[in-house]
Amino acid sequence: MIERTSAFHQLKVADTGGVRLLKFEHNQQSSMRLDDPFETDIEYVRYFHIALAIQPDIKRVLIVGLGGGSLVKRMWRDYPEMSIDALEIDPDVAEIAHDLFEVPLDDRIRVIVDDGRHFLSHSSALYDLIVIDAFDDDHVPPHLLTDEFLRECRDHLANDGVVAYNLIGSVHGDHSKPFRSFYRTITNVWHSVWMFPVGLHESGPIILAFGGNIVVFGSDIDVPAEELLKRIAKRVEGRVSIAGFGVLGKDLYQGAIRSGDVPLLVDPPGRKR
């Protein structure tokens, strides 16, 4: 086991059962199979590839939250037309990703040590896909969830671009207000929103009420649910090689989400970038 205290986290890297794990404090952030560094046992990472079913012509990607680089590595290998900017606020994590999780040193991957919001506020770059997969311990930093930040993401998306979020929460029940506030906020910015509670087709109401990872996509592209599910089932015409990808459409949630009783997420007064 390797333990390190960075400016942001208590970091731990350990190998167990043929898998290398990266933890922040007590929470697992990344994993890598030791016999295949492009594979991870973390389920939600697979769902980000659904972005290609929404917008097949993705070439420029921004990923906020590098961690062990599971998504960065897989997109780099599987989609040679893509170039990827990966933001990581913690320089120790960026070092670990290269040294211990085999994130390639390649011209198509640019790892930048910066906060996601600070980077976007000082950048003129446009992306086809922006992924927010950043966690401070067990929650997404609040400044990456607000209406103002989502609009900044939209300003950095090319026409018909897609934003994707990994969140932990529940859709219904006593603990659902944080997620429902985010849902209200993202639907205030993009015309189309799709959400995939991980494991919904297996656990149904339990997942919706008690929570877990929820991968959410926003875009101004109008892709009807039927067409989206068809593209997922066909693995985007065979381009997506992720194991089990063809059935991920079963986790598309198409029910109602109550949002009238929760606030829009906005920056606190006087917040500076």
Asked if the model's pLDDT at residue 203 lies above 60, the reply is yes
* Cα distance between residue 199 and residue 113, in whole Å: 33
Answer whether residue 210 is part of any domain: yes
Residue 259 CB neighbours (<10 A)? 18
Asked if the model's pLDDT at residue 260 lies above 60, the reply is yes
Answer whether residue 103 is part of any domain: yes
* CA 192 centroid distance within chain: 17
Answer whether residue 86 is part of any domain: yes
Answer whether residue 186 is part of any domain: yes
What pLDDT digit, counting tens, does each position of 100-124 carry? 999 999 999 999 999 999 999 999 9
pLDDT band at 272, cuts 50/70/90? low
Say how many domains are in the chain. 1
Answer whether residue 236 is part of any domain: yes
- In contact, 77 and 39? CB cutoff 8 Å: no
Q: What is the CATH number of the domain that holds 238?
A: 3.40.50.150
Domain ranges, residue 111? 43-251
What pLDDT digit, counting tens, does each position of 67-107 carry? 999 999 999 999 999 999 999 999 999 999 999 999 999 99
pLDDT at 83: 98
Answer whether residue 21 is part of any domain: no
* Cα distance between residue 21 and residue 41, in whole Å: 10
Answer whether residue 15 is part of any domain: no
pTM value > 0.75: yes
Task: Please list, residue by residue across 164-175, b when 16 or more beta carbons sit within 10 angstroms of its beta carbon and e when fewer do.
Answer: bbbbbbbbbeee
- Token pair 């933001």: residue: 87
Q: Which residues contact 253 (CB under 8 A, 6 or more apart)?
A: 171, 195, 196, 197, 200, 208
Answer whether residue 38 is part of any domain: no
